[in-house]
Structure 1
Amino acid sequence: MGAVLGLCSAAQLACCCGSAACSLCCSACPSCANSTSTRLMYAVMLLLVMIAACVTLAPGLHDEMKKVPFCKNSTHYIPGDLKVDCDQAVGYLAVYRICFAACLFFVLMALITIGVKSSKDPRAGIQNGFWGIKYLLVIGGIIGAFFIPEGQFASTWMVFGMIGGFGFIVIQLILIIDFAHSWAERWVSNYEESQSRTWYAALLLAMLTCYALAITGVVLLYVYYTKSSGCDLSKFFISFNLILVVLASGISILPSVQEHQPRSGLLQSAVVSLYVMYLTWSALSNADKACNGITGGSNESSFDKQSIIGLVIWVCSVLYSSIRTASSSSKITMSDHILAKDGNGGYDSIEGADGGEAGRGEEAKVFDNEGDGVAYSWTFFHVVFALATLYIMMTLTNWYNPSSQLSKENVASMWIKITSSWLCVGLYVWTLVAPAVFPDREFN
């Protein structure tokens, strides 16, 4: 038994420190490309950083820290000179420190992978492996960040956070719109090729479902975030965004738009409308407590149902945007990066029995599909993850100055979110009218 455990421990150590990205996460999964497994591992890292940042904002944690004996503000007294200011381990400032270390890690990886053309580059091992060392590096960086003197750190890093967070919002909106177009075009293409009523029914059902959810959201926003007297700003936001999505839906079916984009239709508009309503709800949740019928004007900051639902949607959106950006980098950077390859070009088994023909067998779990060329821009991928980290930091801290006082009410956060909803509609409308305005240009 001891020998078996020893072998397991050695195998796990090799998984963490070796060059096979999927050794840690895909050993029990079907065969997958190395480019896919690597992105998943970095996404897991980003998710863990997000969870750690959320833990520091847990309700009641600040009071619990006072029970720790070595804290300066502890209610317990123990002899000795070792005292730590535990207030820095919780609250907004703690989120800043955690995300600071994670962001620097992704920036470092972006610098390391500049100019990598294929997995034959010596730096490919750093990108696709050594996961144990990477996680230890991130953990060590987070611990070290808590020893940075407060001084001007928070105010300076907040400026970087606002710029980077807004940059990620723009990328996120582009990917949401791209998702809507890709989904609709794929289903319309399937219907045109097969002339199957099933695809037509699926298109119709998806469109009606998204519009029904969007309309339901509008009604609930009026019920819970407005009052008969007052809350005029909330009424304006809801009404104005409703008008915007109606106009966008009308533009999508104009004859001139249909002439240049035959597959443009109401399904894309329905998806965008639903997302805009979500952004509106997220913005109004940071509005004046007097106009928030869900919290009832309570000053208590807690993870209630509203926060949990918003957090789940937000996490899925961030992770999707971060991973999807890798395979959509050419659409954002206007370059000719190779998109994620499904074939076995430059095939090289990473985890298999004997390699070669044996590596192509059923035992091969991870294969290298980047031998002839990278499947995505590695540097751009890490830049997006760095921006995602800053977006996480600013969202968790409500786009506000770091403070140990947690509050959902924040005017800055509300305006940033509502502005992003307007930007989303604007970008979507531009994707509709651009081919008609510039008929000589090619729009993919």
Structure 2
Amino acid sequence: MVAHFGAGVFLLIQLISIISFITWLNDFCHSEKYAVRCHVQMMLLATVAYVICILGIILMYIWYTPQPSCLLNIFFISWTLVLLQLMTSVSLHPKVNAGFLTPGFMGLYVVFLCWSAIRSEPAEEKCIRKAESPTGKGDWFTIISFVVAVLTIVIATFSTGIDSKCFQFKKDDAPEEDDVPYGYGFFHFVFATGAMYFAMLLIGWNPNHAMKKFTIDVGWTSTWVRVVNEWLAVCVYIWMLVAPIIWKSRQVATSNV
């Protein structure tokens, strides 16, 4: 239970860190100093992001819904498309006016989570088209995926642990000379939760589930963990867009009383 909780905390920390980076990049490009210079690059990046999102959704429909009876996969993919439209609509609302860049990048993230969730479904699932390959060749693809997963988790752990200031509710405007860019305790905490998360990948988030040889993060528990993570990512992103407006309106209402 402790490992499950720690892995969930790591997913939440990683999620907040990713959204913070996306919003920081958007604010940086919209700043007065770089707004004119980065306008073309922003539109190009946003366009590429949306094209990849739509292409990914189309490919998932082709690969993972070979039969009309694959209702669960159809729901996952269709709901991802709805969430992409929802994030775009909220971002383009006149009161928010966050542009296309942040929902485009968040769209890439949620499409990736949807794809990884469907890929985590058990191999016996008929709605997943497995590539036919010679015996033993599929194991090499699994090993390569394993190595990539290790590198991804290590990079995410280091970047999240160092970027501890994005989780502070109150930031100091004048840091001291001997101040380090990260907190030692928070860094080791993130690394520990990252280790718990990787352990959950190895057992498919289910200690009672027998994993097959050369498989990682496979099982219905893993699928639903990623699906919930996708939905939570959209909720957190929308809240980060809407929260400043709500707080500002409350402050105005309080001052008028």
Mapped contact 2:163–2:181 kept (Cα < 8 A) = no
User: Cα distance, 1:330 vs. partner?
Assistant: 3.0
Q: Structure 1 pair 254/421, CA: closer, same or farther in 2 (3 Å)?
A: same
Q: Which of 209, 219, 243 is the matching residue for 2:58?
A: 219
Aligned to 2:96: 257
Q: 1:177 to 1:290 in 2, by over 3 A?
A: same
2-structure distance, mates of 1:336, 1:182 = 15
In the TM superposition, 1:193-204 aligns within 5 A as: 193=33, 196=36, 198-204=37-43
Q: Name 2:113's counterpart in structure 1.
A: 279
Determine if the alignment matches structure 1 residue 245 to structure 2 residue 52: no
Secondary structure at 1:193 match in 2: coil
Segments of 5+ residues of structure 2 without an aligned counterpart are 252-257
Distance 1:266 1:315, change over 3 A: farther
- Deviation for aligned residue 1:193: 2.4
On the 8 A contact 1:248/1:269 being kept in 2, the answer is yes
- Structure 1 counterpart of 2:165: 330
Aligned in 2, Cα 1:334/1:311: closer, same or farther, shift over 3 Å?
Answer: farther
RMSD over aligned Cα, in angstroms?
A: 3.0
Residue 232 of structure 2 is matched in structure 1 by 423
Cα deviation per residue 1:139-172 (whole Å; 9 max; x = unaligned)?
A: xxxxxxxxxxxxxxxxxxxx22211101100011
Q: Which has the higher contact order (CA 8 A, sep 6+)?
A: 2
SS class of match (2:126): helix
Query: Is the CA contact (8 Å cut-off) linking 1:318 and 1:388 kept in structure 2?
Result: yes
Which residue of structure 2 aligns with residue 166 of structure 1?
A: 8
In structure 2, distance between residues paired with 1:421 and 1:163: 18
Is the 2:67–2:127 Cα contact (8 Å) retained in structure 1? no
Sequence identity percentage: 28
CA distance in 2, matches of 1:244, 1:382: 34
Verify: 1:414 aligned to 2:223, yes or no: yes
Cα deviation per residue 1:365-419 (whole Å; 9 max; x = unaligned)?
xxxxx3xx33321111100100011111111322122646345641100000111
Instruction: Specify the alignment match of 2:255 in structure 1.
Output: none
CA distance in structure 2 between the partners assigned to 1:232 and 1:251 by the alignment: 28
Structure 1: stretches of 5+ with no match in the other structure: 1-158, 259-263, 347-369
CA contact (8 A) 2:3 2:197 kept: yes
- The one-letter amino acid paired with 1:272 is M
- Structure (1 or 2) with the greater helix fraction: 2
Query: Residues 290 and 268 from structure 1, CA distance in 2 versus in 1: closer, same or farther, beyond 3 angstroms?
Result: same
Instruction: Answer whether contact 1:227 1:291 (CA < 8 A) is retained.
Output: yes
The question of whether the paired residues in 2 share the 8 Å contact of 1:226 and 1:235 is answered with yes
Structure 1 residue 304 displacement after superposition:
5.2
Q: Paired residue for 1:33?
A: none
Asked whether 1:318 is paired with 2:153, we answer: yes
Inter-CA distance 199–333: structure 2 relative to 1 (3 Å threshold): closer
| Contact 1:221 1:238 survives alignment (8 Å) | yes
Call closer, same or farther: CA 1:412–1:425 in 2, change over 3 Å: same
Distance 1:412 1:194 in 2: 45
Alignment partner of 1:294 out of 122, 130, 134: 130
Please give the alpha-carbon distance, in whole angstroms, between the structure 2 residues aligned to 1:433 and 1:172: 21
Question: SS of the counterpart of 2:206?
Answer: coil
**Aligned partners of 2:18, 2:184: CA distance in 1, in Å?**
21
Whether 1:435 and 2:241 are equivalent positions in the alignment is no
TM-score calculated relative to the size of structure 1? 0.50
1:185 alignment partner in structure 2: 27
1:388 correspondence with 2:162:
no
